[in-house]
Chains A and B, each alone.
Chain A
Amino acid sequence: MNPSALDLLRRLGHFVTDRLWRLGFASRFLMMTVLYSGAAFRRLHLTIREIYFTGVLSLIIILVSGLFVGMVLGLQGYDTLQRYGSSEALGVLVALSLVRELGPVVAALLFASRAGSAITAEIGLMKATEQLSAMEMMAVNPIARVIAPRFWAGVVSMPLLAALFSALGIFGGYLVGVQLIGVDAGSFWSQMQAAVDFRQDIMNGVIKSVVFGAIISWIAVFEGYDCEPTAEGVSGATTRTVVTSSLAILAADFMLTAFMFRGE
């Protein structure tokens, strides 16, 4: 084997082991976060404050996006359905697409970009300006005080945002389908109610969004905590949060969907 191929193999091996090591470190970090979560719940105002910064401040983008996605679903859905004479099924199409998939997934992607990157940047900056070190030296565990509240805030905010996204989307589909195009309102809602099952579709959607919330929050706090304490380090960590979260969400979505919607 010539030297450059050997070198390539060595670097590949290094890359893989490095990634695995980092994953292990991240998992241990997650365990510590969960373990030290007592303070986040006993001093609820810490977590509530974070819910404000991750959830409430993401409302605008979630609501507007949900509305637009629903409206587009209405338009596209009608265009395809009316070709087979099934335009009354528009409600079913919009509702199922949103509640099962688009609500949890798109809301999670938006949340990762807006709140996830903000969390990473904030924690990274705290690390770079030695605020986390200072807290440690003042005998306060930064994982309990800074990390855990942000993690749980993300887990709590995500399903609420996904539900709002789906609800606004259905409303958007209604606006376009019934008000604009003229699909019958009665069949829009009644067929939807017949087709959307609470346990199968809505609860599964909620479970998905909770899982996504945990994934995004985990990646966001870890990247912030583990970044290089420099300007480039923080910016690289923020980018990694968005990219890694997005990929993880899509992969998890596939696995959850395959598991939940078997043989339907």
Chain B
Amino acid sequence: MNRAAIDLWVGIFVALGLGALLFLALKAGNLTATDVGETYVLQARFDNIGGLKVRAPVKSAGVVVGRVGEIRFDAETYTALVSLHIDKRYQFPRDTFVTINTSGLLGEQYVGFEPGGDPEMLKPGEMVKKTQSAMVLEKLISQFMFSKAAEDEAKK
């Protein structure tokens, strides 16, 4: 095996390997523009964040506009403080309704932004006004059971 042939084969090998990595990154992974862009931070306070995790998506109208940053517990108000990293390209009005939703019935939780009509936009670092906590399945079921029980009582 002379040197030229070896060099050629090694070159092909390295090219194939890097190509495979590229394929994995682009086709299989989610290396898209939004991830690489610049973001600004908004704060939100929730009574219950349910199963929300760090790096969960923030969606508005179903499109990913940012990611969940830090999740902290506020010991004074006994609520959860969540930092949201939003893509710099998108501005949201100050009366945006921030909710925690579940994708599908039993899927991952994400943060939803429903914009209101306020002409003023949220500034970086600002706290959102209106939030709705996650729906905890057990509470729903117990609510349903109690209301059913109350209905039956009323009927008697």
Contact = CB atoms under 8 A, between A and B. Distances in A.
Partners in one complex: yes
B35 A160 contact: no
Contacts of B20: 160, 163-164, 166-168
B13 A198 contact: no
Interface in B15-40: 16-18, 20-21, 23-25, 27-31, 35
B10 interface: yes
Interface residues of B, number: 24
A161 B17 contact: yes
B34 to A, nearest CB: 12
A69 interface: no
Contact of B28 (A56, A192, A206): A192
Nearest to A200: B55
B155 interface: no
B10 A48 contact: yes
Contacts of B31: 198
B6 A196 contact: no
A49 B20 CA distance: 22
Given A160-B16, A167-B20, A198-B30, A49 B25 contact: no
A202 B24 contact: yes
Interface residues of A, number: 31
Task: Say what secondary structure dominates the interface of chain A.
Answer: helix
A113 to B, nearest CB: 19
Interface in A74-108: 95, 99
Task: Say what secondary structure dominates the interface of chain B.
Answer: helix
A104 to B, nearest CB: 12
B10 A56 contact: yes
Contacts of A160: 13-14, 16-18, 20-21
A182 B31 CA distance: 27
B46 to A, nearest CB: 19
A59 B17 CA distance: 10
A195 B28 CA distance: 9
A189 B17 contact: no
A52 B9 contact: yes
B8 to A, nearest CB: 10
Contact of A166 (B7, B16, B24, B55): B24
Interface of B: 1, 3, 6-7, 9-10, 12-14, 16-18, 20-21, 23-25, 27-31, 35, 55
Interface of A: 45, 48-49, 51-52, 55-56, 59, 95, 99, 157, 159-161, 163-164, 166-168, 170, 189, 192-198, 201-202, 206
